[in-house]
Amino acid sequence: MHIPIARPVIGQEEISAVSEVLASGMLAQGERVAEFERKFADYCGTTYGVATNNGTAALHAALLAADIGYGDEVIVPAFSFIATASAVSMCGAKPIFTDVNDKTFTINPEQVAERITPKTKAVIGVHLFGQPFEVRAVQEICESHNLKLIEDAAQAHGALYHGEKVGGFGHFGCFSFYATKNMITGEGGMITTNEKANAERLRLITNHGQSEKYLHTRLGYNYRMTDIAAAIGIVQLKKLDKYNMRRRKNAEYYNSHLSVPGLILPHVADAMYHVYHQYVVRLTGDFPMKRQEFIEYLKTKGIGTAVHYPIPIQRQPLYAPVHEPDSCPVSTRLSENVLSLPVHPLLDGKELAYICDTINRVK
Ligand SMILES: Cc1ncc(COP(=O)(O)O)c(C=O)c1O
């Protein structure tokens, strides 16, 4: 048995869609991207969607459109993928790390409020592993301090907060379609927004600041998505709800079958529709094995796992020289004891039963 932690689901429909683009001769940005932007924005319930070539570019462009620049501070959770913070640094601004809730792993709103200074301009909340963060609490803080709210929804396509899709709660929602995400284009990203002015700025930023052919009105980047990627995205979007449902069913299976002392299963907060980009367990002191030993054990049984994330961002070599290492103790503890199990939509009943049986035998 070999069960990888992630498995991209690509079928004949995606292959045909890409072949059509290749045959059309339009390999760069064209009709397919415009169609994907409209469909993705509709799906999220937002007015605009602006496609990018990856999720990091989406975050960077959103921060620039929010006017984040030198000297500004942006509050970000310490427990996330590096891009949540590095996109802030790319603007010349400073990420200010805040801790997360130890059960849901998402940004702790109380600490966001504590970290606000006169230099704070924005907050990035991450819908981590597919579970929305406490949107309302963070929105209220942003509104009362006149801060921009950016949703990092790279791992949460289709996740719901109080029944509404993520991506439309902040000034900007940023998505990734990287090859292991809940929907994929290989590499790719999207920014959702409800304001026309934001969408227009994003179009300039992602295309060389070009307002007319060879007329450049601001500093911009080449962050364009190709029609090849968009063609895959259009097909994947149709299947997203089905894939997310399978991920949720797989998670439910684990929830009702896994049982080992010291193994803490994911906690889903009220009113959250979790789409399980990752199924992340925690190993406490009562668990019979150390994490590395457990990883090795599962590997010998053919079960792939991953640690998301082994180092909290404030302790990354990139940030450690100028950030307090102990400022986010929950994130630090989580990085020492979390482990992601396979939850992707291609897992079958036999594989799930095998994984649970293998884990439950741990002594
Ligand atoms: C939380 C989070 N933010 C941002 C990104 C960046 O997306 P990309 O890899 O498409 O640049 C990722 C992707 O892994 C992510 O997981």
Determine the Cα–Cα distance for residues 283 and 113; give it in Å rounded to an integer. Answer: 30
Ligand 1, atom 4: nearest CA belongs to which residue?
83
* 126 in contact with ligand 1, CB cutoff 6 A: yes
DSSP class of residue 164 equals: E
Question: Nearest 10 degrees: CA dihedral of 35, 176, 229, 17?
Answer: -70
Instruction: Choose among 177, 198, 201: nearest CA to 187.
Output: 177
Determine the Cα–Cα distance for residues 37 and 336; give it in Å rounded to an integer. Answer: 39
Q: Report yes or no on whether pTM surpasses 0.95.
A: yes
Determine the Cα–Cα distance for residues 28 and 225; give it in Å rounded to an integer. Answer: 8
* 154 in contact with ligand 1, CB cutoff 6 A: yes
Nearest ligand 1 atom to alpha carbon 80: 1
Distance 260 CA to ligand 1 centre (A): 32
Report pLDDT for 323: 87
Distance 82 CA to ligand 1 centre (A): 8
Q: DSSP states of 122-140 as a string?
A: EEEEE-GGG----HHHHHH
Ligand 1, atom 8: nearest CA belongs to which residue?
55
* 152 in contact with ligand 1, CB cutoff 6 A: yes
What phi and psi, each to the nearest 5 degrees, are found at residue 282? -120, 145
Determine the Cα–Cα distance for residues 264 and 252; give it in Å rounded to an integer. Answer: 14
With the most atoms of ligand 1 within 8 angstroms of its CB, the residue from 52, 59, 81 to mutate is 81
* 279 in contact with ligand 1, CB cutoff 6 A: no
Nearest ligand 1 atom to alpha carbon 87: 4
The DSSP bridge partners found for residue 272 are 161
Listed in sequence order, the residues at least 6 apart from 361 whose beta carbon sits closer than 8 Å to its beta carbon are none
Q: In angstroms, how far is the first alpha carbon of the chain from the final one? A: 22
Instruction: Choose among 152, 225, 151, 222: nearest CA to 188.
Output: 225
* 21 in contact with ligand 1, CB cutoff 6 A: no
Contact of 44 with 167, CB cutoff 8 Å: yes
Report pLDDT for 363: 82
Nearest ligand 1 atom to alpha carbon 155: 16
Distance 55 CA to ligand 1 centre (A): 5
Nearest ligand 1 atom to alpha carbon 188: 10
* 278 in contact with ligand 1, CB cutoff 6 A: no
* 83 in contact with ligand 1, CB cutoff 6 A: yes
Token reading at 207: 């295309």
Distance 189 CA to ligand 1 centre (A): 9
pLDDT in single tens digits along all 363 residues of the chain: 899 999 999 999 999 999 999 999 888 999 999 999 999 999 999 999 999 999 999 999 999 999 999 999 999 999 999 999 999 999 999 999 999 999 999 999 999 999 999 999 999 999 999 999 999 999 999 999 999 999 999 999 999 999 999 999 999 999 999 999 999 999 999 999 999 999 999 999 999 999 999 999 999 999 999 999 999 999 999 999 999 999 999 999 999 999 999 999 999 999 999 999 999 999 999 999 999 999 999 999 999 999 999 999 999 999 999 888 999 999 999 999 999 999 999 999 999 999 999 999 998
Instruction: Choose among 213, 107, 274, 103: nearest CA to 95.
Output: 107
Question: Nearest 10 degrees: CA dihedral of 333, 334, 339, 340?
Answer: -170
Determine the Cα–Cα distance for residues 109 and 173; give it in Å rounded to an integer. Answer: 18
Report pLDDT for 1: 86
With the most atoms of ligand 1 within 8 angstroms of its CB, the residue from 155, 223, 313 to mutate is 155
210: left (phi over 0), alpha (psi -120 to 50) or beta: beta
Distance 359 CA to ligand 1 centre (A): 29
Distance 155 CA to ligand 1 centre (A): 7
Determine the Cα–Cα distance for residues 176 and 153; give it in Å rounded to an integer. Answer: 8
Report pLDDT for 160: 98
* 81 in contact with ligand 1, CB cutoff 6 A: yes
Q: How many CB atoms lie within 10 A of CB 197?
A: 9
Q: What is the 3-state secondary structure (H, E, C) of 261-321?
A: CCEECCCCCCCEECCCCCEEEEECCCCCCCHHHHHHHHHHCCECCECCCCCCHHHCCCCHH
